[in-house]
Amino acid sequence: MINPTDGPALKRFLTREQIHQRVAEMGAQISRDFAGQTIVLVGVLKGAAIFLADLARAITVDCTFDFVAVSSYGKANRSSGAVRLIKDLDHAIENRNVILVEDILDTGLTLCYLRNMLLQRKPATLKIAAFLDKPARRLQTIEADYVGFPMPNDFVIGYGMDFAEHYRNLPDICWMPADVHD
């Protein structure tokens, strides 16, 4: 494993300053779209935890948090198959404005599964906020309503995103070095 403090070994995709700036813009957009209303932010554990914490503080309208956790069968670094719910919401979302908050939209399998599950509970509105989007990897048709940055078909770590559970604590988003990744 690479030491997260071993900065020079990692190539940055996005610096913490770029992340902060974009999250502020996303929070302002969401605050405008939901002016005068209340929102439930639903974070997808564990990857979205850090993005949700930052996004929530950039939102100026009243909001509450809830979390779901899923696991996908497949390789350690890619979701590639069936999605399974391992932690459900704590509270009902009927008639609420829900924003599903995800670190990265990749094949779309996770968010399609969660969107269908949450729509069955009849929220007033359901939006998706994904900090990163890899459109070239999509296997299911789904787009986020709020996207931080599009990115190419490559693997990143940091800002909540992991490789085999490590590197989530990197403050910048870095390219996964090929020698560790493969």
Contact residues for ligand IMP, defined by CB under 6 A: 47, 79, 102-111, 155-156, 161-162
Q: How far is the CB of 182 from ligand IMP (least distance, A)?
A: 14
Query: Bridge-partner residues for 71, per DSSP?
Result: 84
C-alpha closest to that of 102 among 63, 50, 154, 141: 50
Whether residue 6 lies in the annotated active site: no
Tokens of 3: 């030491």
Query: What sign for the dihedral angle of Cα 107, 136, 24, 163?
Result: positive
Token pair listed for 39: 């929102």
Residue number with CB closer to ligand IMP (34 or 163)? 163
Q: Which of residues 34 and 102 has its CB atom nearest to ligand IMP in the complex?
A: 102
Query: What minimum distance in Å lies between the beta carbon of 52 and ligand IMP?
Result: 12
- Helix, strand, coil percentages (3-state) for the chain, rounded to 5, are 25, 30, 40
Q: Which is nearer to ligand IMP, 93 or 104 (CB)?
A: 104
* The one catalytic residue among 106, 133, 162, 172: 106
Residues labelled catalytic: 106
